[in-house]
Homo-oligomer: A and B are copies of this chain.
Amino acid sequence: DQKPVDLNDPFANEPSRLPVFKINSKKPFNAEPPLEVLTDSYITPNELFYVRNHLPVPKIDLKSYRLEVKVGKRTVKLSLDDLKKRHKPVTITTTIQCAGNRRAEMSEYKTVKGLSWGPCAIGTARWTGVRLRDILLDAGIDAKDPNIKHIQFNGKDDDITKACYGGSIPISKAMAPDGDVILAYKMNGVDIPRDHGYPLRAIVPGYVGARNVKWVHQVTASHEESHSHWQRNDYKAFSPSTTFETADYKTAPSIQEMPVISAISSPAVNATVYEEQGHIEVKGYAWSGGGRDILRVDVSSDGGKTWQAANLTKDEPNADDSAHCWAWTLWNVDVPVKPGQKVELVCKAVDSAFNCQPEGMGAIWNLRGFLSNAWHRIPVTVAQDD
């Protein structure tokens, strides 16, 4: 019953995936786990972690794999074993989120261009690897060189023209001792799965998923951002009044650090719920970029007129303690409802800089549907008493 492999199909070598994924695009593969399992565990299981691929998954042989680190005129080539021998392993627990998470809701307000992600293009894992800072210092970087402003990453995934996926981050983030940027070879204790970047992935805590470049094989210190399509002509932020006619990718800022967001993972949209003693339980996640913690999640069962503060579940401390809070907060709360009611459940989070989520999509709408962090609203029906 196996299909024959089409050798001309660049997607002939994709890894196998669980059938439970909600698939937004098959080639390249883009899929998110079902909402009802997303917050079942603090750490997202590897096989349920959302997959956001821009190109076919490359097949990489460790024997020939080398990481090239380019600093000035010098290029250092390192096998994965070299990397592990030269630098101490660190484990960072971080949430990674796609810039397009919750895009479908923004598109409901007014159509945007991009894959139709629900609220599950986000996940949390423990990543083990070596500090990018150490690798760059080892390669001879002068952190005070004013000509070095960005660290560029290239992935091994490429298209027919051999243009590969790439992205870059500011030098200040790459070199900050507490920035916790690593090149990771393990995801939750095992070799990183092919879909998530085997054998090496850039992990940039608190930044958009797109800069957490998978299958990374080139790291370049540069005076400018990556020239890749995805750095220059994608993953940029526009105002609500920008149209496809007026959009200027040259001057628009690249998405890097992410804003505060939250979502309800249970109950589901339009579910019929059963109250107990006048209450139902609501659960979900909250996260903010830049290492900011979540201080509070407010939940409403009357469309946002009154609020209750949720119980918060945080990360276990990292093995390597960090002052910065890179991973999400799970939350739950019992809210009051009456049998037979149709209610709108709403959640909104507050981060440790007291930033909050916008009420609606109108003021943050942008033609690409990025950064869709308005209050999450879930209509449900409370079942009648028997």
Contacts and interface: CB of A to CB of B under 8 A. Distances in A.
Nearest to A356: B358
Interface string A163-181: 0000000101000101000
A354 B257 contact: yes
Contacts of A309: 239, 241
Interface in A288-307: 288-290, 292, 295-296, 298, 304, 306-307
A178 B258 CA distance: 21
Contact of A295 (B253, B260, B295, B350): B253
Given A237-B295, A239-B307, A241-B308, A259 B354 contact: yes
A141 to B, nearest CB: 16
Interface stretch (A40-48, A83-91, A210-218, A359-367): A359-367
Contact of A359 (B240, B359, B371): B359
Nearest to A175: B323
A172 B350 CA distance: 21
A359 B364 CA distance: 11
A298 B359 contact: no
A241 to B, nearest CB: 5
Given A290-B290, A358-B358, A359-B360, A239 B296 contact: yes
A307 B304 CA distance: 25
Contacts of A358: 356-359
Nearest to A375: B363
A258, A292, A354, most chain B CB atoms within 10 A: A354
A308 B246 CA distance: 12
B371 A364 contact: no
A353 B259 contact: yes
On chain A, which size bracket covers the interface? 35 or more
Interface string A10-45: 000000000000000000000000000000000000
Interface string A245-265: 000000001011111100000
A353 B258 contact: yes
Contacts of A352: 253, 256-257
Nearest to A289: B353
A79 B186 CA distance: 53
Q: Which of A255, A288, A350 has the most CB of B within 10 A?
A: A350
A239 B323 contact: no
A113 to B, nearest CB: 18
A323 B150 CA distance: 13
Contacts of A363: 298, 304, 307, 348, 356, 359, 375
Nearest to A358: B356
A355 B260 contact: yes
A355 B298 contact: no
A350 B255 CA distance: 12
List 9 tightest A-B contacts by C-beta distance, closest first.
Answer: A172-B323, A355-B355, A257-B353, A259-B354, A259-B355, A359-B359, A241-B307, A354-B371, A253-B295
13 contacts: A172-B323, A239-B296, A239-B307, A241-B306, A241-B307, A253-B295, A255-B354, A256-B352, A258-B353, A260-B355, A353-B355, A359-B359, A359-B363
